Structure 1
Amino acid sequence: MLLHDNPFWRFSLSLYHLKRIKDACLQLQDSSDANVNLLFFALWVSQQQLRFSPDWPQVFQQLENWHRDYTLPLRRQRRELKHLAEKADRHEHGPLHQMHEHITKAELLSEQQEQAVLYYYYQERMGLIPCEDKQAALIENLTACIQDPTKIDNEPLKVLLGVMLEEQDVDQATVKLREQIEKRFLRSQ
């Protein structure tokens, strides 16, 4: 059974309320189609000294299917409705604004479902393996979340790395992360 209110969900909410982290995640989402829930999961399991296993793409396929079939269409609808509501409704309680609010709530519920699935993976240790070095786990996990390094800059990466690392370690870790992402990208070409 999936737990929708779980430690991972609460961790994600606490991080997302921090403007710099929210902005970094949204930048990665918009520039490189990164899944913000997967980014948060990468951070969270790294803190638990876990990294994604080599078979994680197959294990996480249910999550990817949900993200593609439900979360992304709701996000697209929410964004479109926001612009339509701003143009068409004369006041904030018009029908398109109300519809936008409902779609926003549905998108949040869809993301909470994704997080519940990820928490289940964590509980069952599906797609995860122990890693003694939290920084190595963090870099490997975040590498798995970024598909195309040509579409991102280092600032959002530094923000995410800064969640777990000391300030003096962030620049060096960013270089390592960027190298790993580029290697993975070149292998996939």
Structure 2
Amino acid sequence: MHRLAVAAVLAVPMAFQSFQALATSIAPETFIAAATQIDAAKLSALALAVEADPRGVANRLQGDVGGRGALQRYAAAMLQQGQAQRLGRQWAVLVADTAVLAAPETKDGSVWFPRAKDAGFFTGGIAAALLRDSGAVSAFARGAGLPEPAKVQSIPEWLSQPAALLPRPARSAFDRAQRAGAF
């Protein structure tokens, strides 16, 4: 049932794909198109795709020109539709494993931290939405399993707390990507 709903809503050809295959292979342009005008059915399908593969969705969106706007619209729609706790849980899964976030990869002779970058980008998109809808911060915090931000803490600073445990290069990748996802 989920498979058919996601396919119908996102207009993705299904053939005999499993839902997991769909969710892990959702193209950024499909997510971006669905996030242009989000209704309840599209929001549900997008949320299922994020839950099936949060790292993959974050990676594909941060690699696409329209990804930041789509992520921010998705996060805003989740907050507006009373799904802040669910969004908090999605985010918590993405930032939970610091060993994964800190794992370096070598490409073309340079070292980079793709998972820290993906998590930072996703965090930035959520921060932008929470800045516009501060009434959802409490519910988001409950879903994420975090205490609410201190009075002197900004939303981006609060959301970057999980990255504080990362080694400096991974933390730097997270911070840069967070700014890119937010602005």
TM-score, L = length of structure 1: 0.30
Looking at both structures, which has the greater relative contact order when contacts are Cα pairs under 8 Å and sequence separation is at least 6?
1
Higher helix share: 1
